[in-house]
Chains A and B, each alone.
Chain A
């Protein structure tokens, strides 16, 4: 057999064993708990096969004695021992207050005991009405107030008779029928009439009358020495005006006595001779009275002899006032407990004997007989069951530990294996497992309380036990595997819902998200502060703290992103926003901005590299052109020195010379233009006085202008026109502009050169009238190199203005051309410097 098979076999065996153990545990527990009294004795170390020697037996005798003593006391109270006490007088007030039957009429209101019990029985059987039960009296009570403030009560019928017989006369009434109607229906109120009642002779007997609306119970028996209760309350000054109280006291007394009587009847029935194996005997030595359920022991005279007989029957207890006289043959009995118990029952006053004997041959099939049978059936196996339960439980726990360790493992690999059940969502699986387990437990619970088992119930119990065990193992081991695999939380429904919510949230528009969160926050606050619930407010405050932290984090994040964007926008394209501490949307934005920055950086680098390559290429090509050009120029010059007389040849040579010169300028300008436009030159800044510079330039071009009859008109400001620029480059620009003027201005016109200053800027402008129509736009003149649209004009490269513009802009100035008809104007604007020493 393969090792893995054996391993699986062991595992299967252990699982089956766990179920068997569970069944054993449950059945043992039931066996133990089925007779808790016996089990308690066994657990306390008592080891007996006989019920009469068990702890349970002693406890049962004790609890029976409680009942018996109560019964004896009640019998004594009701005077049911030794003849009839029906005529015993019960003072109602006394009994209601103290619970004693004194036998004399002290308060003025008393009934015979027999009447009260009968009355109670009648009430119980529904033959006596009671206002608390909603009964309407057939003959309601009328209350009249006498002029001296005392009250007089009448039954309605009696009252009506007296009026009809004119013994009583209403002094002031409107409708006698209505009055009687109201009195009959108990709806006449105290203040409803102001009518006096007179006697036949016209004396006022009552000042007012109304319906009695207090508690009432239909009067079936008359009090001792009176016709009815009204007699007492009318005549007895102690009771006058206290009819309600009287009725309450009557009710309390009769119900108490009635129930006591019923209890006694039951007691008598239970402990009647022939119904029980227990014999009790209570002797009141002071009165010479004996209470017993055994006919033979009734005679007080044979008390000691009777006690001796009682002792012989089996188990017995004899309690006397003195502890030393306590006598019993039961094991582990507590004498003082018994004595105290007899004394507190209220019976054991004075000198007495209280004895209980149980005939342990159980000739009568009573409680004792049944318990004896049950005990003999259960007790011998309790110890065994207990040991079995404990051992099974230990073994079961051991198997559980082994299964816990092995859960999810298979023989031969280190992987964790999950089954179908383990892949269910945690909560679903938990609900299923707990539900099934709960069902098993409730099944067990249903069977648990059955006392007498048959085979079917035993099987049901075993099934329920193994089912419960199985469900527990399924749920528990799945939990263990989930924990081991770390899927307890990962595979939970809550996480799933949370993730789903997050997905929904991430697809929600920003405004919706903000709105919903704020709504939730606001509602939480309203609810919390409206309810005033401390816990809710705590949560609301926690939410506030969270929100505060959240907003601060957001603010910090926003600042970071803002800073990053500003720096990138300012040209620091290799700047990266630090991503640390950013979350969610801001993280995303920051990453995108960084990506844009990287893209810009790459694009800029590529473009710079391209520019450099372009400049390098142009420079190299121009070097290569210059060498042959040198020869061309030199040999043209040599040819010219040959003194050709033919004017045609001279003309050709002039063309060659001009074109060679143009080629020379062109190569130089292309290199310069490419360098300038790619920013590939270094500038040497210095402080320059533009006024000085214009004078210098003017001097340089004086001759050229004169040659073409141009008059230069220079206008300089009084203030200094100081700028910061590279003098040589600026001269390159001015030279270019002046050259243009010298070449293209209409002969004999004026060239205006103006310098003006504002507070912050210096303006230079040169205006001239062009010889040729300016059918070109300003941008075309300055953007030539950039556009690759190189001039096709007759002289120069046409790149001059383009280079000039680039150079000025590099030095932080502005360069504009203005063309209007034949008017050509160049404007250069530089920021004005103020010399420190001035």
Chain B
């Protein structure tokens, strides 16, 4: 089973995270500051690191920079700092995900799972067997098989949802307005004042995203439309 290093100066938090992760069958190593985390990394193999930012001795950001010199294991930063600037900083120094405190334990577990799946399986599963495969980050759509997978896990979508996601996946990074999506999927002219497309998008998000409110793949460009982020 994967070994996860949890590092936070608050022992209660480390313990709680350990309980959740152990319940999911992971092995947990504890550390209470950046320095300890670095030492733990040296001692044994670690598959994923959950790292707090504000810690004594060595803080999370500097620890991440040091770890990235030698390791490419997934790092999830867990911080009370919820500003955009903090998140950008964390992701820029090499973290793979950023979770703000207080966090939903289930969400954290889901993110851990997702990161581990990508880290351990991604390379092998991508056997681009046909042209009709589109993927971004952990999200993959195989139009031949009409199959959608997130981090390798299949996701079930309705035909309309599938068609919308396919349209966006085919045009990654491009923003589609509601009317454009409607016209593409239903092949009729949009008459407006209808939230159908928006509702479908929300449903898709709920199915493919860990936290639909902070989507990783299917993003809302407010007042303009929707797009799938090219990761």
Contacts and interface: CB of A to CB of B under 8 A. Distances in A.
Interface string A622-638: 11101111111111011
A692 interface: yes
B7 interface: no
Interface string B214-231: 000000111111000000
B110 interface: no
Interface stretch (B67-75, B139-147, B192-200): B192-200
A693 interface: yes
B80 interface: yes
Contact of B202 (A630, A635, A692, A699): A699
Q: How large is the interface on B (under 10, 10 to 19, 20 to 34, 35 or more residues)?
A: 35 or more
Interface stretch (B31-39, B99-107, B153-161): B99-107
Contacts of A727: 221-224
A664 B101 CA distance: 9
Contact of B13 (A624, A631, A716): A631
A696 B105 contact: no
A718 to B, nearest CB: 9
Contacts of B102: 626, 629-630, 632-634, 660, 664
Interface string A674-691: 000000000000101111
Nearest to B100: A626
Nearest to A693: B223
Contacts of A623: 54, 80-81
Given A668-B82, A715-B193, A698 B198 contact: yes
A304 interface: no
Nearest to B196: A699
A664 B103 CA distance: 10
A669 to B, nearest CB: 12
B10 A627 contact: yes
A819 B194 CA distance: 28
A789 interface: no
A574 interface: no
Interface in B1-35: 10, 12-13, 16-17, 19-20
A702 interface: yes
B178 A696 contact: yes
Contacts of B81: 623
Interface in A595-627: 622-624, 626-627
A391 interface: no
Nearest to B78: A630
B164 to A, nearest CB: 12
Interface in A715-761: 715-716, 725, 727-728, 730-731
B201 interface: yes
Contacts of B82: 626, 668, 671
B175 to A, nearest CB: 10
A627 B13 contact: yes
B177 interface: yes
A664 to B, nearest CB: 5
Nearest to A755: B193
A689 B222 CA distance: 9
Interface string B73-104: 00000001110000000000000000001111
Interface of A: 622-624, 626-635, 637-638, 660, 664, 668, 671, 686, 688-693, 695-700, 702-703, 712, 714-716, 725, 727-728, 730-731
Given A623-B81, A668-B82, A699-B199, 5 more contacts: A629-B101, A633-B102, A634-B17, A689-B224, A700-B198
Task: List 10 A-B pairs, minimum CB-CB distance, nearest first.
Answer: A699-B198, A688-B223, A727-B222, A626-B80, A634-B16, A693-B223, A698-B195, A630-B102, A631-B12, A630-B101
